[in-house]
Structure 1
Amino acid sequence: MSVRARWTVTAVLVLAGVAGCGTASSQPSAGSVTVKDCQGKDITFAAVPARAVTIDGWAAQVMARLGLADRIVGTGFAGPVRAEQEPFRGQLATVPVITDKIPSTESVAALAPDVVLTGFPDFGGPPGTPTEADLAAMKAPGVAACVNTKAGPMTDLSAMYDYLARVGRVFQVADRADQVIRELKAREDTVRAKAGPRTRVLALADNPVVGQPVKALGGATPVNALIHLAGGVNVFDEVPSMHADVSPEKIAALDPQVIWVVTDLSFAKATGRELVDQISANPLLATTSAVRDRRILSTSQYVVGFPTPLTIDGLEQIAAGLRG
């Protein structure tokens, strides 16, 4: 199963390390633009795409921030669309939702897109969803976010900035993309400048159950990057995967000072405030400094799951929580 499949089928989280994603693009001739895909290959657009399908709401968020929501003829996995803030949520309000899951190849092809975008690392995760070969058959190039989960712990937001730049080039609104990137980097710099001593953070996606491994989030997640930039350290930073299946005893030994609950995962037994309350009262975590000091934070995966401008909101939230 691909990395993208694990994130979508289990609805897990994401940001940062980018492998083979080109931030620079070239214009071989007037009216055409060439950008790099996640393998470093050129994708050339002879004209500005008029019809875009976003596989997921994270890609739709990026389009809205660049003023391109009116180009979207359909989106899948709409949770991130509903999490977006005004005025961008208003821009996305009229975008047709294909499905609240990852759309099938047939449903994407039926919309006759000029381009297909995803906030995931690649295409074709869950069976029946569009692969790169399917997109080639549709004559609709795919633009993915190029999040690299195999290059060690994620510690920066380069995937987000790269994705904004490439989408901006594809739609020939590079100046607008540059402005958005500058604004987001300024907010990131403000957070980093205020970071204090490193705080030990445990990131959880579900409430631990007796006799089962605790589902913590490892270093290969965007959440890890946000913790790092906010001035914390993920207690499972060195786990080279998205999930760190660990024992309660291991967590007790590491004694996290803050627990960050990432909500809205499909496999979680509860969500939102209910999940936070369950974790706060869980006896398996009762000995941690985080529970004793009542330092339990929460953010939706729709905000921090994959590289979009909304991720900076998540960064500011976790930073405020660590300082508090």
Structure 2
Amino acid sequence: MRPRVVCGIAAAVALFATACGSGAGNGNGNGTAAADTAKAAPASGFPVKVADCAGKETTVTKAPTKIVTSNAASLEMLLRLGAGDRVIGTGFPPGKGTLPAELADQGAKVPVLGDKTIPKEKLLGSGADLYLDTFGAMPMMGGAATAPSEEEYAAAGIQHVQLLSTACAGTPKAAKAPRTDLAAVEDDLRRVGAVTGTAARAEELVTGMEQRIGEVRTALAAVPAEQRPSYFLFDFDAGTKQPTAVCGRQVANAVITLAGARNVFADCDADFKPGSWEDVVAKNPDWIQLAVRNRGSEDATRKAYDDAEAFLRSFPATQGLTAVQQGHFIRLGSEATTIAGVRNADAVRQIAATVHPDLVKPDTAKSGQ
């Protein structure tokens, strides 16, 4: 990946980090207290086999009791699955106000092992028996250069499990066709549920996602593909000098497609790719998503959205775009769109209700309940 994207897409992939280079500062950073009080894990349904991005299988013989998560995406997934009491540390901690209200207190108690990527020595010495990894070997997250080797994980007694829908999207073995559904995200939920002994809860979460997405799909069934509006996800935090294209392999492409829109960069064979404003102008999108990361407070996040919109309205290359002229902006954070999780289904509903208001109504129901 591209180094210049570190404070944009990387912040989204880090899911809910307050800002690049700053952390929540909660916890003591060593995970010891949480490890000492970790509850016993379920014993049924084991062994479980899971594969990494290269297809190499690992056998998990029992549910982990001391889990470290790479970032707030994997942390939120475990909290939703009911395994949060076994998490002893995380990297890229959630910023204030980013986790759902019902998970916020528990999430805030998880010790922070790294404001960004967890240092290798701290991860290996954490006492964890499982590391849930959103990033894999993503160079932009420092994964390829600084992550432990599989041999080092094994020597430390840590089983390494990846969220394949995110970690594998940019790898050579990833599916070449554009991603148009959330099956990979749902598979991640099921895999993590199996590994943690919370498979029944995982199925509940998947069922809820499928129900919400199914309602949108039914509502839009009669809309021909050529009548679906074009859509550009503007990652404001990646910088404005050169836009980042969110390509067909990315989770966001599935979210946009399911919402009844057409990602203008769906045809690039990658997850993310450096673009140009000339490319965006040539695509002339009908709608633009102002995808900013959560700033840790409602006022600060609102200002980030305002700043992103102001840039597009004032920048000579974009001020004449159809979406800009018509004020067709969607304020929807990077996290819910580009990172695997239950809230991808909410993002589908929000986009659909905005671009097809006559067919899909806004939904204020909470996800994952």
The two structures share one fold, judged by TM-score above 0.5: yes
Distance in 2 between residues matched to 1:265 and 1:84, nearest whole Å: 10
Q: CA deviation at 1:297?
A: 1.3
Alpha carbons 2:72, 2:93 under 8 Å: kept: yes
Alpha carbons 2:5, 2:238 under 8 Å: kept: no
Q: CA deviation at 1:121?
A: 4.5
TM-score w.r.t. length of structure 2: 0.73
Corresponding residue for residue 139 of structure 1 = 157
Distance in 2 between residues matched to 1:121 and 1:209, nearest whole Å: 24
The one-letter code matched in structure 1 to 2:328 is R
The CA RMSD measured in Å over matched residues stands at 3.1
Alpha carbons 1:49, 1:171 under 8 Å: kept: yes
Corresponding residue for residue 311 of structure 1 = 344
Corresponding residue for residue 256 of structure 2 = 227
Match of 1:181 among 203, 206, 222: 206
Corresponding residue for residue 25 of structure 1 = none
Alpha carbons 1:58, 1:308 under 8 Å: kept: yes
Q: What pairs with 1:22-101 in structure 2 (closer than 5 Å)?
A: 32-38=46-52, 39-79=54-94, 82-101=97-116
Encode CA deviations 1:32-55: one digit per residue, 9 max, x unaligned: 322221233332223221100001
Alpha carbons 1:236, 1:244 under 8 Å: kept: no
Is residue 283 of structure 1 aligned with residue 316 of structure 2? yes
TM-score w.r.t. length of structure 1: 0.83
Q: CA deviation at 1:81?
A: 8.1
For 1:127, what is the secondary structure of its paired residue?
helix
Alpha carbons 2:137, 2:144 under 8 Å: kept: no
Corresponding residue for residue 118 of structure 1 = 133
Moved more, 143-152 or 254-263: 143-152
Q: CA deviation at 1:77?
A: 0.8
Encode CA deviations 1:139-163: one digit per residue, 9 max, x unaligned: 1111111124242322111221111
Encode CA deviations 1:236-263: one digit per residue, 9 max, x unaligned: 1111123344443332332210011221
Distance in 2 between residues matched to 1:67 and 1:217, nearest whole Å: 32
Alpha carbons 1:13, 1:221 under 8 Å: kept: no
Alpha carbons 1:58, 1:81 under 8 Å: kept: no
Distance in 2 between residues matched to 1:190 and 1:174, nearest whole Å: 24
Is residue 102 of structure 1 aligned with residue 122 of structure 2? no
Is residue 251 of structure 1 aligned with residue 251 of structure 2? no
Structure 2: which 5+ residue stretches go unaligned?
A: 14-42, 296-302, 358-369
Alpha carbons 1:35, 1:169 under 8 Å: kept: no
For 1:102, what is the secondary structure of its paired residue?
coil
Distance in 1 between residues matched to 2:272 and 2:44, nearest whole Å: 46
Corresponding residue for residue 161 of structure 1 = 186
Stretches (4+) displaced over 6 A: 3-9, 207-210
The one-letter code matched in structure 2 to 1:136 is A
Corresponding residue for residue 200 of structure 1 = 230
Q: Does the C-alpha gap of structure 1 residues 78 and 272 become closer, same or farther in structure 2, counting only changes over 3 Å?
A: farther
Alpha carbons 2:137, 2:147 under 8 Å: kept: no
Corresponding residue for residue 354 of structure 2 = 321
Match of 2:175 among 151, 175, 178: 151
Distance in 2 between residues matched to 1:285 and 1:8, nearest whole Å: 22
Distance in 1 between residues matched to 2:318 and 2:185, nearest whole Å: 33
Corresponding residue for residue 10 of structure 2 = 11
Distance in 2 between residues matched to 1:62 and 1:49, nearest whole Å: 15
Corresponding residue for residue 22 of structure 1 = none
Alpha carbons 1:8, 1:126 under 8 Å: kept: no
The one-letter code matched in structure 2 to 1:164 is L
Moved more, 94-103 or 247-256: 247-256
Alpha carbons 2:12, 2:293 under 8 Å: kept: no
Structure 1: which 5+ residue stretches go unaligned?
A: 15-28
Instruction: Report the count of equivalent residues.
Output: 305
